[in-house]
Structure 1
Amino acid sequence: MTLDQLHLLFFKNYDEASLAFSPGINCFIGDNGSGKTNLLDAIYYLSLTKSAFASADAQSIKQGADFFVVKGKFNTPLLEQAETIQVSMRAGQKKTITHNKQPYDRLADHIGRYPAVLISPYDTDLVRQGSEDRRRYFDSLQSQLDHEFLELLIQYNGLLRQRNATLKQSGGSHGFDMLYLHSLDDQLAPLGENLSTMRAAFLAQFVPVFQRHYAQLADGREEVLLEYKSQLPGQNFRHLLLANERRDVALQRSTTGPHRDDFVFLMDGLPVKSYASQGQQKSFVIALKLAQFELLATKPQPAGHDAAKPLLLLDDIFDRLDDKRIARLLQLVADHTFGQVFLTDTNLERTDLALAGIASDIRRFRVQAGLVAVI
């Protein structure tokens, strides 16, 4: 699978841009703030229907405009015609995603069809920030691999929103319907237990792949581990909801359940956040992303569909990573572990030097203040 064309309209700092890509390596070269990373984010939108960096879609609309459009044309070997994906949003309205000009019946149907993996300077936020970031990362990955998990997550989050809305009513003058709360709990409990079970099973599959990639990056000097931290294993979730009901009513939110889970990052048995060096933290998150890439690339496909390597998006790796970690990534590129690659850099000479030994079709783009041209 490759992304052959990208068209932007009023997306972030772009009025309009149209690009035709190489099936190999595509380099976006420009100063900081010129819009290089925004191009990667547009590609990320086509894959996951959301920004990798902005918390709200409205933030992707160019200042002064009232809508944005991101359109891409994908080439899949076993399909005779290219597939066109478009993501668009008008201020104050819902985001729209279309496949060959036809809207999806459900947005979930798109997730996992055009996988992408982003390696960014912000990845170490997974180590430093709170449990919400780690849950979002692993839920996004697992959703691309397993639609059953995605459906379960959607159902659970929908019921959780209803439960929290009901709990907020408890602070009003009219009180709230306790019977309705218990009805929601009856529906939420089996979903939460299944969600926890599926997360634990996925992590058992993910950890050996992650550990192998970390050992290759760090020469096996440290032992790394991911642990799933949840209240639910061995517990009856319905009983936990009942036991925490008074606290939930007082705080007007649900305080127990898989939406409170965490994924604990350990190195030699100690928390990575507190005890690992910056270099070790970078190796840790790169190993996470390489394991993510491998699982997505080897995901079982329906009959008649070829396995698709995810698009690899590399943001400012030459500025932010040391030579050893860059060399490992570039070796994987040279070995054709990856498929189509998109990378950003501020220095064309440095990029050309780094890619000099790689036998691949390389296309370079100069990015200046929201304008893009082939070099």
Structure 2
Amino acid sequence: MLTGVINTSSNKLTLGTGTATGDLGALSYFGGYIRGTFERWINNTGSHDFPVGDMNAQRLLININGLSSGGTLLAEFSGDNPGDAGLPLDDDGTTVYNTFSEGYWSLDMANGFVLGASNNYSLQLYGTGFTSFAINDSTRIITRADGSADWMAEGAHLAGSGVTARRANLETLPAHFAFGDTTNCTKPVTSAITGAADVCAGESAVAYSVTDNSPNTYTWTITGGVQASGGNTNSITVNWNASPTDNASVSVVESNTCTNGFKVVLPVTVHSVPPESITGKTNVPDNSAGVTYSVPARSGYTYLWTITGGAQASGGNTNSITVDWGAAGTGNVSVVAELPGCPQAPAVNLAVKIYDVIESIQTGNWNDPDTW
């Protein structure tokens, strides 16, 4: 892997096909990262690289010191809030007060992988892009069994270097891992974002805010629009883009004199959003009646249908209509979605072929021209 980002979305990228020596696959890593789940077939001790990440390369290197049964390990880095459950905690005389707010790693097992009760592993994790605390020799790797468990100081601390932290003698699998900081610092606690979660495409000067904890500062990130005013204060305005989307958002990270709080996100829908596609027949006989076409319904939306090669028979401005088709030829079903008060969505079209139906004029043999 040389560079770039492989985005697996809700899927996973798997290296190898089995535990046989020739089936394990091989990875040469030079740069880039995998956003999502990366699965590797493993049947041996030693070091195994998982170049995962979110907005940066947050690699996970595991060194397996003993193995009962081979199978697969699945690694992923999540940019979600790791939380501080179980903190502060003692790590051999050193107190861990906070997790780094940028996210956490997960490591899971599948396909018969068994570490074994008497075996353990060590980790080296890369905190590339982490800014909530300084990464130094004291930065800890802390562990939990899953998202509902408390963080714990399993294993033994090893000094890292650069943006890495290291830990030995770990046993828990599956597990989550996070960076832990030893600074006696209280993270800011950010309120929920107040503001509109439904806006119109092109709408401007829409206000968003969180509770002001002066003299803290606030770093805002807008997806699907631009921040228009407010700077690093607790209250801003946003100009939303002209393109409708379900995937807009407003997020904020609050910072005090020693660290950053966890990111708070408000999902936003920019209306009017077009349906992904029209459901219905694309091949119909000529003069067929009552053929149904529909799109997924959205609350409050109206739908303007246009039919070429036929006529709308029922449904009005709802999300589901019927069409009476005319003579053979090329037809089309078009729909424009609209949330009243917002700009109309771009039209969505479905091409329809209207074919001739040949009918017999009397009974007889099919290969007798007089039958037709």
Verify same fold: TM over 0.5.
Answer: no
- Point out the structure with the larger strand share: 2
Question: If you compute each CA radius of gyration, which structure gives the higher value, 1 or 2?
Answer: 2
More RCO (CA 8 Å, sep 6+): 1
TM-score (norm 2): 0.25
